[in-house]
Structure 1
Amino acid sequence: MARRKQRRAEEPAEELSVHELIEGPTQDLTAARNAVASAGDAPGQSPAETQDLSGLAAEVTRDLSGPAAEITRDLSAVAGTAVRPVAGAGERVRIDLPRMPAAGALYRRALLGALPGMGGRRGPELPEVELGVGGVTVDRAHLADYDRVCGFRLADRLPATYPHVLGFPLALRLMTAAEFPIPLTGVVHVANRITVHRPVEAGETLDFRTYAEHLRPHERGRQLDVVLIGAVGGEEVWRGVSTYLGKERQAGGGARRDRGDRPASPAASAQWRVTPRVGTDYARVSGDHNPIHTSRLGARLFGFPRPIAHGMWSMARCLAALDGRLPEAYTVGVSFKLPVPLPSTVAFSATATGGAWDFALHDARSGGPQLVGTVR
């Protein structure tokens, strides 16, 4: 009996495409959100800091209106915050924070904001705001831990996906603002593009800035891009663009696409066993503790039969398989297709054409596409 149960647990979960994930039944998540919010009241954890703004002197040289003004007032509650216009960026305002935000508090903020009467009014447009944090250093022990979890060789050179982890709390702070047009809860990460302008070493100090752009209709809601930029000494060395989809009841993008017949899966060059520990280990090194990746109950509450791997882990694992065969500077782009259930076995395939790569990740049993990517 025990063996039979274990085999059932090892079987791949029912295939869910991105469209099926966002079209799934709408559930009442209040109980789950209350549970997570209550966890934020545990000893040693404090809610996001709020202070009286009357004693702060922010240098704002012009009138700010709408969502940008609300986010500016909110973020100016942290002592040491500087506010200024962004040269050459239209109406965008730059807000420099004194330190990187804490991701855990931001997730609690997002879940609390999803409760009735606590979310405030979401703006119809993207706020013209750019957030920045300077002087971010690399903890080599954390880098080594990340390398092990994602399959990279231990080295002082940062993997292409590692600056995303370093700067993600800043992007998360932007996305959890009450006026941000798409709520973080229920958002789907559908694509990611990273440009490495030059190799970045662990001893270098990075300055990050982030902003959102290209809010656009989609057949199931709205999409937008969150841009995260890493610079060293004023020179941009890394850029990541994360595309997110927010499901909305009244979508504005037209009829659903016909996905047609599934193309044949390419021949696999490797197979990887993805265990439940991948979800918990990547959550630990990335700070992304979304329960759909770490908890069977949490995954079910959000419509998944069991936990799924982080999309950025899948991207990183594919790049790790190409480690040592990539140029000094390149752009890697991926589209996330079917989720990778935990546990499961995935098949990796890669084809080189000149200096370019095309790669993919498929379910080893069903052949369902989970990720497709290119390096150029």
Structure 2
Amino acid sequence: MDWHTLDSTPFLPPLYLRAALKRKVSGTALPEEGLRCWMTVDPKHLAAYRKVCGFEDSAILPATYPHILAFALQMQLLTARDFPFPLLGLIHLSNRIRILRTLGCVGYLRIGVRTQNLQPHAKGATFDLITTMEDSLGPLWEAQSRMLCRGVKLPGEVADDAVMSPTGLTELTRWKAPADIGRRYARVSGDYNPIHLSALSAKLFGFPQAIAHGLWNKARTLAALGQHLPASNIEIEVAFKKPVRLPSEVTLRSSAAASSGELQLTGANDIEHMIGRWHPFS
């Protein structure tokens, strides 16, 4: 993997335009270059993110916040000329976060993004978007987002990626996902995908209503789990199932607080929106 280090965080407006203009698949090979950039945490922006996602004030960064720091880099990577798939239309299937060290007292951070692991899928092709965060002492945090591009034909066997739903969980809490949460989350995340913003814009992409961002669902869930989870040496993975249509109410069920456990986010009539688990890693 070759790395290109940027002097500053990419400017988003031209990248939105680039994403809007690319509608067709242009190849079947992922780029071999990743992007890196040093950056700092803006306390006001972090506070706004905490408010939208339900996190309490803390000296420790929310486990999902590095995704926000990385968003502009991800946009530049996924809208580059050598990236083969259109960004609009990609489907976020799953997300795995690893917290290597406690995310406290963080200052100057290097964020890196790259893609890997292109695989055939029953509905097209998947790839992993890898995001990393490190400080002067070394790696702090890493994440893998599995993305699906429909309609791509790749040779090889299609892997069975079915995930068993957890059982025996206890209701922890429930909350409302309001009609405007997609717009509110977009303002703190930078992710202005039309499917999240309004019913009108979502209908242009085949959705009857706007849907919540998958990473908002995960962030809101981790905020609700709070002290259930260890602060480091933990892997938190979720699979996104049926989207959360806006507005709606969802219910979080989980295992008891422990070093390992499972979670499930459901909606009306027990429709399954997200399932996941957490555990230590070696």
Q: Structure 2-normalised TM-score? A: 0.91
Indicate which of 123, 130, 138 corresponds to 2:27.
123
Task: State the 1:203 CA deviation.
Answer: 4.7
Which residue in 2 is equivalent to 1:68? none
Aligned residues: percent identity? 37
Pair 1:334-2:238 in alignment: yes
In the alignment, structure 1 residue 98 sits paired with structure 2 residue 7: yes
- What SS does structure 2 have at the residue aligned with 1:352? coil
Query: 1:318-351: per-residue Cα shift (whole Å, max 9, x none)?
Result: 1001112321211110100000000011111010
CA contact 2:244–2:273 (8 Å) conserved in 1? yes
2:263 corresponding residue in structure 1? 359
Alpha-carbon distance change, 122 to 327 in structure 1, aligned in 2, over 3 angstroms = same
Q: Partner of 2:22 in structure 1?
A: 113
Does the C-alpha gap of structure 1 residues 292 and 375 become closer, same or farther in structure 2, counting only changes over 3 Å?
same
Task: Indicate yes or no: 2:67 matched with 1:158.
Answer: no
- TM-score of the aligned structures, taking structure 1 as reference length: 0.69
What's the secondary structure of 2:72's corresponding residue? Answer: helix
Aligned to 2:179: 276
Q: Distance in 1 between matches of 2:180 and 2:97?
A: 26
Q: 1:211 aligns with which of 114, 130, 150?
A: 114
Relative to its length, the structure with more strand (as a share) is: 2
Q: What is the count of residue pairs matched by the alignment?
A: 277
Aligned position for 1:238: 141
Mapped to 2, the partners of 1:191 and 1:281 lie a distance apart of: 22
Alignment of 1:129-278 (within 5 A): 129-134=33-38, 136-201=39-104, 203-233=106-136, 235-248=138-151, 250=153, 266-278=169-181
Structure index of larger Rg:
1
**What's the secondary structure of 2:253's corresponding residue?**
strand
- Does 1:302 find its partner at 2:210? no
Contact preservation (8 Å) 2:120, 2:158: no
1:312 aligns with 2:215: yes
Change (3 A) 1:326 1:171: same
Q: State whether residues 121 and 158 of structure 2, in contact with CA within 8 Å, keep that contact through their aligned partners in structure 1.
A: no
SS in 2 for 1:323: helix
Secondary structure of 1:146's partner? helix
Q: Give RMSD over aligned pairs.
A: 2.4
Partner of 1:324: 227
Q: Is the 8 A contact 2:194 2:202 kept in 1?
A: yes
Q: Tell me the CA shift for residue 94 of structure 1.
A: 1.3
Counterparts in 2 of 1:105 and 1:201: CA distance versus 1, 3 Å = farther
Deviation for aligned residue 1:217:
0.4
Aligned residue in 2 for 1:371 = 274
Task: Look up the equivalent residue of 1:105 and give its one-letter code.
Answer: P
Q: 1:222 aligns to what SS in structure 2? A: strand
Structure 2: which 5+ residue stretches go unaligned? none
Inter-partner Cα distance in structure 2 for 1:374 and 1:175: 28
Change (3 A) 1:264 1:197: closer
Residues 253 and 314 of structure 1: CA distance in aligned 2, closer, same or farther (over 3 Å): farther
